[in-house]
Amino acid sequence: MNKTLFAGLLITILMIAASFFGKYVYWHDLNEHLEVSYTNGVLVVPPSPPNGDYLFGTDKYGYDLLAKLLDGARFTILGAVGVAFARVLIGGMLGLILGYFGKVQTNRGGRFTIWNVLNGIPVFIIVWMIMIGFTMNPKSTAIWMTFILTLIMTILGIPSVAASIKEKATLIREKQFVLSAKSIGASHWTIIRSHIFPHLKENFTILFVQEVVLTLGLFGQLAIFNIFVGGTKMLFDPIEYMSRTNEWSGLIGQARSNLDIYPWVIFFPLSAYIVFILGFHLISVGLEKKYQKQFAKYSHI
């Protein structure tokens, strides 16, 4: 294991562990909030900056930021991992089938294939146009709204994954060992399962990690336009947009107006978000280095 992969795995595992188990050891939860008080001659008014009692400070309503981060972590992590897994699973299977059975595209005259066209569609714009109609103050539960958002993101991400796998599968199906398997009567399913997929499993692994990073980035883009995972709670007079799930990108989106006045309100969610993405990015880079070294070793043999 190289240092990059180790660092990425360490960061990711620690953050996932803290996200799922941190709430059992941290002394504040979402039901507690800092109230206005007059203590030792000092007027205490939320939001409170980080201190010994509130490690990440509080928001303007007095709720502990660390407790909110711990609460929203499951939506951030499970949402991104779920979208990536579904994309790679469905898109990968589709790409394998298309790569094995499909015709080789010659792309004459500079024409784009259907996959090129689908990959050129900006996913963020489409998700925003679909979700903006019913994500504000929805009547559905946060879990159901999360499922709808992740389902849309999964469907829109499948073409790019399928195209990537299809291209590689098309090259492998022309290899001598695949042609030999065909000549002795191996079934299509056996060839795909036993001869093509084993040569692509490293690609599937890297693709999964990259899709997690892409999904997290998409969460962040949507949050800038008040589309939060689990739905958006819209307040009036003054107009404010709140995350229903405390998902990390939602906490960033709802706090961006506090950057100049209460910077810690956006700093800690943004830091957690960036570190989490960095962890998966390092895993992706580390895996690529590992597989390149592994394949280079085999080629010398």
Predicted TM-score of the model (pTM): 0.84
Task: Quote the pLDDT of residue 105.
Answer: 60
Q: What pLDDT, on the 0 to 100 scale, is given for residue 297?
A: 59
Look at residue 301 in the predicted model and tell me its pLDDT.
40
Residue 176 CB contacts under 8 Å (≥ 6 apart), including other chains: none
Place of tokens 């689990």: 230
Residue 85: predicted pLDDT: 94
Average pLDDT on 144-156 reads 92
Per DSSP bridges, beta strands 42-44 and 37-39 are: antiparallel
**pLDDT band at 145; cut points 50, 70, 90:** very high
Beta strands 42-44 and 232-235 are unpaired
The beta strands (E) that lie in the chain are given as: 37-39, 42-44, 232-235, 240-243
Residue with tokens 């660390």: 66
Give per-residue pLDDT as tens, 155-181: 998 988 998 888 888 888 888 888 888
Give me 193's structure tokens.
Answer: 């399962």
Chain segment 102-120, per-residue pLDDT in tens: 776 655 555 556 556 666 6
Per-residue pLDDT of 221-232, as tens digits, reads 898 888 999 889
pLDDT at residue 114, as a whole number: 59
Stretch 260-265: mean pLDDT: 85
Helices 65-101 and 201-224, packing angle to 10 deg? 130
Mean pLDDT value across the chain: 84
Q: Cα(84)–Cα(90) distance, rounded to whole angstroms?
A: 10
* 8 A C-beta contact, residue 16 and residue 78: no
pLDDT at 181: 80
